[in-house]
Copies of this chain bind each other. A is one copy, B any other.
Amino acid sequence: MSDHQANDNKPLHSHDPCTSALSAEENAAEMLAAMTRNGLRITDQRRSMVSIFSDHDGYLSPKDVYDSMVRKYPSVSFDTVYRNLRMMSEMGVLEQFYFMDGGLKFKSNCLSHHHHHLICVNCEKTVTFDYCPMDQQMNLPGGYKILNHRFEIYGVCESCQ
């Protein structure tokens, strides 16, 4: 729901470096395009889910998304939300992961460049940063062939302190 007027010069809140180049609307259009490209039909519900994510930088649980959806589509079902979350993250439009406490959350994905997250443990507002520990010289034991990694920093954001 883009309920704020198009004022390109004044972002409401700090966008992360992945999406700041794009307005929420552009980002939504981009997501929808990626979905069409993957052969998905664009339904009202999916359009609505897309705008929920393009308007929010941070992670949302399936329940969060459902609650937002219900406001616009009172008859929406939980399984539709789940199904679409799964499809959207399978095709890379959303990024998902399991939080510290194990809860599954989703966030609109940045396909363009590698980064990590700094996450507020209170409001879950998330900012990205480019520093990656894997760029450092570090002597790892055991002769593993390295595939990927996970690095997140948790803290309390300015407005939650």
Say yes or no for A152: interface residue by CB 8 A criterion: yes
Say yes or no for A74: interface residue by CB 8 A criterion: no
Return chain B residues, CB-CB under 8 Å to A142: 11, 14, 118, 127, 157-158
Q: Using A133-B136, A150-B152 as known contacts, say yes or no to A118 and B145 having CB atoms under 8 A apart.
A: no
Say yes or no for A21: interface residue by CB 8 A criterion: no
How far apart sit A19 and B86, CA to CA, in the bound complex (Å)? 39
Is the beta-carbon distance between B98 and A141 smaller than 8 angstroms? no
Is the beta-carbon distance between A6 and B144 smaller than 8 angstroms? yes
Measured CB to CB, the residues of A under 8 A from B are 1-2, 4, 6-14, 16, 97-102, 104, 114, 118, 120-121, 127, 129, 131-136, 138-158, 161
